[in-house]
Structure 1
Amino acid sequence: MIRIKASPKRIDKRVTDLVHIAEEPLSDNLDDNEKVLQQIFSNCNDLIIRKLTLYKSTRCIAAYLDVLVDESLWNNGLLNPLMKQELEDFDNQGELFEQLKYRLASFVTPQVINNRKEAVQRIVSGDVVLFVESSNAALSFSIKDQLQRQLDEPSSEAVIRGPRIGFIEKLDVNMALIRQRIRTPQLKMEKVILGAASRTDIAIVYFEGKTPQKVVEEIRQRVSKIEMDSILESGYIEESISDHPYSPFPVMQTTQRPDVVSAALIEGKAAVLVDGSPIALVMPITYWYGFQTVEDYYMNFIFASFLRWLRFLFAFMALTLPSIYVAITTFHSEMIPTGLALSLAAAREVVPFPAMVETLIMEITFEALREAGVRLPRPVGQTISIVGALVIGQAAVQAGIISAPIIIIVSLTGIASFLIPHPEMNQAVSMLRFPMVICAGTFGLYGVSAAVIAILIHLTNLNSFGVPYLSPLAPLNPSELWDVLIRAPWKIMHKRQRRIRPKMELEEK
């Protein structure tokens, strides 16, 4: 066994352009192939080149990266059977390959490689590549080391009721978790490789017959146009294929739960899974998804409908409460009852800032504390965020920098935002609070009304892979409102399965 050591040898000009080299066919000289591998993988201490002798003194070399290959499977499951095989006489290397493929099929299925590009890509992907003397082809054996963590409860989504298994960083495992829930050949999974350097596996998942073909074609087209050096997380894909990357509102759903993806597929949506990321992307979606949870379908429909209306109410409060406070206290104080107006005036008497500046200071401080609580270690984060808010708020009020009413307003706003179940929608509402406060401090309630109308106009112009963002409310489709404002009983939902309708289909209708 030879381990390639780091060395400052000058790389031959023939291998400086790896792309050009990779397109060349393999040499029928074993030493040339070994030399090229050493030059391409120079300074790679994890490259192993192992010299073997097969039937009738046939020289071979096996090249692989030991950090990616399962050593026990390589030694016991492939190397020993490979050396012990009693091969028949062969006239050329093609017959030798056919015999090896046939005899090793019970251990691993080898693939024939004819050029350097594929050979290098197989090695960096974790395969063992076997080069044979006097042959311009090679065999690739997939015996990758299964680097993965145990299946566990999703860390980014609270599970109240339902399966407590979340996606992990292994694409094949995530695909299997979906297959276990949808056991039909209509469930299609198409793999694509993206990233010139990372060579990341991407899976496009859809339910044939339920997912509109136009949506599937659109996803394929957008994914095929991605040209990046590396795809390290599903967020790379999300931003690259988004309909509206400059909009604060999400046009794709992110989830770590297999049951959420499975339900979306049955509903007629599609999903994108990325190797190395536990977060799946679901598309297309509508605005209403941001206020729905999968637990709505696991509990009584009456309580689920009540919770949805509660989320709508508090989401509106999270967006408008600080701006309404600023507008009323600054421009429309006559709308406040006399007793409350006197109390607010007394509380703000020592505050040196106008209501708009005061609100912006507290909102920024609240967002900073929340972000600190997320980024700090979990045992410390919650303590810092809670204690920090109490200490800073109390000290600011006593120092006369901030009034007590604004502490109440910002606290209620923060609690209201926590009722929004999806982080992406929560982030959109949190971002829009700041321009809303500025409009309120500049134009009063007229500014608040204009800002809300502008947001509604923006929402009506959004679409997700051809599906209008506010559908089925705009454009109005009364027959599909049963799972938007309320959660209808399963008897009704079973009879009237919801469909994803792209904009083109709605226009034709």
Structure 2
Amino acid sequence: MQVKPKEVLHKNFQQNEETFRSIYNNCSDVVFAPFLLFGKVKAMIVYIEGLSDVQGMDEFIFASLKKEIADEAQPLSVLIEKEISISKLKKIQLIADCIESISLGDPILFYEGGDSAYSLGLAKWEKRAIEEPEAETVIRGPRGGFTEDLQVNTSQLRRIIKSPALKIQTMKIGKYTNTNVSIVYVEGLAEPTLIEEVKNRLERIQIDGILESEYIEELIEDNPYSPFPQIMSTERPDVAASALMEGRVIILTDGTPFILMVPVSFFSFLQAPDDYYQRALIGSFTRFLRNGFLVISLLFPSFYVAVTTFHQEMIPDALLLSISASRESVPFPALIEVLLMEIVFEALREAGIRLPKQIGSAVSIVGALVIGQAAVQAGLVSAPMIIVVASTGIASFLIPRYNAGYSVRILRFPIIFLAGTLGLLGIMMGILAIFIHLCTLRSFGEAYLAPLAPFKKHELKDTIWRSPFWMMDTRPHFTGQYNMHRQAPDQEPGPQKGGETNS
């Protein structure tokens, strides 16, 4: 049965009951519980098993409303509101609002002669406990993570940012799922134009249902055909709170622990929470290591193919003889050899993810060892190629964000083709094409390579390296122009800072 948006309840009890029974026809988990209100008026509670607190209904609703009362002069609505001792009691008149309340787990109560119903705030369903996200573990730092419950997630943000400036606006997306999606920002830090743009993009979404935040990500990003993600996701409340304090906007979706953060830059995907929970020197060293291995993950196989195929003069004689000896019995050119091993390695990695956790890692490791050793002994691939592919795979694991690592893995294959056909010239052409593409990308209108392009020297404090906190007194330019300063300047620590030392 289709419900009109503005259709209201009737005073006729029987007609209301028939309406709800026709809406929930063949729904065996929907319960219709009739009873006599105050011992004389026909009433009914409608709820869904498994979503509502049945014990609470027995204790707070039926026990109070079934008993007869002496005061009959007051209207029934006043008596109901007086007798029901629950905090979340809401009076509603639209049938659509009643259906929404039932779907959220809040039972509704309607009675004979009343043209309205009551939504009883007794929703109760199983929730996953707050745990540390497995994909974003840290050595030092908070251990909590987001869950699938939207209210729990917003409460975790409120627990970190204890200010009324933290604003949360919720809307519903999805014709059938009616998924709650919340826009979260800090008033005074996030630019109003950015907030308005996020709202507009979400309001344009017309879809049957939202099952995960990836649905929203693909529907609101700037360039859907780019291999690089323009929206960053996280399961960590501390990462989300850090983004809010930088003036970004985050999007929470009910039913998933992954929240979205906008806008972001390319360097955001190379930053990990551990960078900020260790000393600046250690965090900077880790970032330099991460950036270096990003280049290795992207270019190492291509460079090996180009050098061994077209530019043998670049290899030292001793190493060239060793490589030539190992490739003597290999029937394939270096291009086919590296493509074969890369595809096998990607298949093993994907198999390790899809298999049960108890055997996934063991199968992928043993499979790589066995297949690699067998391929070398059979003369299908050379030993140096195994080293190149294995080093490339390890380098890709250093990228903190999985979707950013996937982008590098995808781009590795066209660059290998260019290296196998044009040598180092092909590699340079591939690098230039990637840089040109990155320069054209935008994340909610902001430059993807900021602050490198456009270049802003004073904003490189938290990109390639991590400066000490006392130096990072301004927010990123592409989110912090609205409120640039985040701490007092000149807080460099030292023995003479904060007063004279004891003599």
Scaled to the shorter chain, the TM-score interval is over 0.9
After superposition, the Cα gap between the structure-2 partners of 1:141 and 1:504, relative to the gap in structure 1 and judged at 3 Å, is closer
Q: CA contact under 8 A between 1:284 and 1:467: conserved in structure 2? A: yes
Q: Could you say which residue in structure 1 is the equivalent of 2:476?
A: 498
Matching residue within 251, 254, 259 for 2:238 = 259
Q: CA contact under 8 A between 1:90 and 1:96: conserved in structure 2? A: no
Deviation at 1:23, TM superposition (A): 4.1
CA distance in 2, matches of 1:39, 1:220: 36
CA distance in 2, matches of 1:501, 1:109: 38
More deviation, 428-437/121-130? 121-130
Equivalent residue letter for 1:51: P
Q: Which secondary structure state, in structure 2, belongs to the residue aligned with residue 145 of structure 1?
A: coil
Q: Which secondary structure state, in structure 2, belongs to the residue aligned with residue 156 of structure 1?
A: helix
Q: CA contact under 8 A between 1:167 and 1:257: conserved in structure 2? A: yes
After superposition, the Cα gap between the structure-2 partners of 1:367 and 1:358, relative to the gap in structure 1 and judged at 3 Å, is same
1:369 aligns to 2:348 (yes or no): yes
Deviation at 1:499, TM superposition (A): 4.2
* TM-score between both structures, scaled by the size of structure 1: 0.91
1:41 aligns to 2:19 (yes or no): no
Q: Could you say which residue in structure 2 is the equivalent of 1:240?
A: 219
CA distance in 2, matches of 1:403, 1:492: 50
CA distance in 2, matches of 1:339, 1:466: 52
How do 1:117-156 and structure 2 match up within 5 A?
Answer: 117-156=96-135
CA distance in 1, matches of 2:367, 2:136: 25
Q: Could you say which residue in structure 2 is the equivalent of 1:277?
A: 256
1:180 aligns to 2:159 (yes or no): yes
Q: Could you say which residue in structure 2 is the equivalent of 1:321?
A: 300
Equivalent residue letter for 2:15: D
Paired-residue identity, % = 43
Q: Deviations over 1:266-322 (max 9, x none)?
A: 111111111110111111110001111111111110111111111111100100000
Equivalent residue letter for 2:314: M
CA distance in 2, matches of 1:262, 1:501: 14
Equivalent residue letter for 1:496: T
Q: Which secondary structure state, in structure 1, belongs to the residue aligned with residue 417 of structure 2?
A: helix
How do 1:9-158 and structure 2 match up within 5 A?
Answer: 15=1, 18-20=2-4, 23-55=6-38, 57-84=40-67, 86=69, 88-90=71-73, 95-104=75-84, 106-158=85-137
After superposition, the Cα gap between the structure-2 partners of 1:505 and 1:148, relative to the gap in structure 1 and judged at 3 Å, is closer
Q: CA contact under 8 A between 1:267 and 1:499: conserved in structure 2? A: no
How do 1:336-415 and structure 2 match up within 5 A?
Answer: 336-415=315-394
Q: Which secondary structure state, in structure 2, belongs to the residue aligned with residue 482 of structure 1?
A: coil
Q: CA contact under 8 A between 2:110 and 2:117: conserved in structure 1? A: yes
Equivalent residue letter for 2:55: S
1:205 aligns to 2:220 (yes or no): no
Q: Could you say which residue in structure 1 is the equivalent of 2:496?
A: none
Q: Which secondary structure state, in structure 1, belongs to the residue aligned with residue 17 of structure 2?
A: helix
Q: Which secondary structure state, in structure 1, belongs to the residue aligned with residue 66 of structure 2?
A: helix
Q: Which secondary structure state, in structure 2, belongs to the residue aligned with residue 168 of structure 1?
A: coil
Q: Which secondary structure state, in structure 1, belongs to the residue aligned with residue 342 of structure 2?
A: helix
* TM-score between both structures, scaled by the size of structure 2: 0.92
Q: Could you say which residue in structure 1 is the equivalent of 2:501?
A: none
CA distance in 2, matches of 1:84, 1:186: 46
Q: CA contact under 8 A between 1:55 and 1:87: conserved in structure 2? A: no
CA distance in 2, matches of 1:182, 1:376: 39
CA distance in 2, matches of 1:470, 1:87: 74
CA distance in 2, matches of 1:361, 1:398: 16
Q: Which secondary structure state, in structure 1, belongs to the residue aligned with residue 183 of structure 2?
A: strand
CA distance in 2, matches of 1:489, 1:160: 19
Q: Which runs of 5+ in 1 are unaligned?
A: 1-14
Matching residue within 430, 434, 456 for 1:455 = 434
Q: CA contact under 8 A between 1:356 and 1:437: conserved in structure 2? A: yes
The number of residues matched between the two structures is 484
Matching residue within 278, 281, 306 for 1:299 = 278
Q: Which secondary structure state, in structure 2, belongs to the residue aligned with residue 281 of structure 1?
A: strand
Equivalent residue letter for 2:19: V
Q: Deviations over 1:3-33 (max 9, x none)?
A: xxxxxxxxxxxx3xx144x642222211111
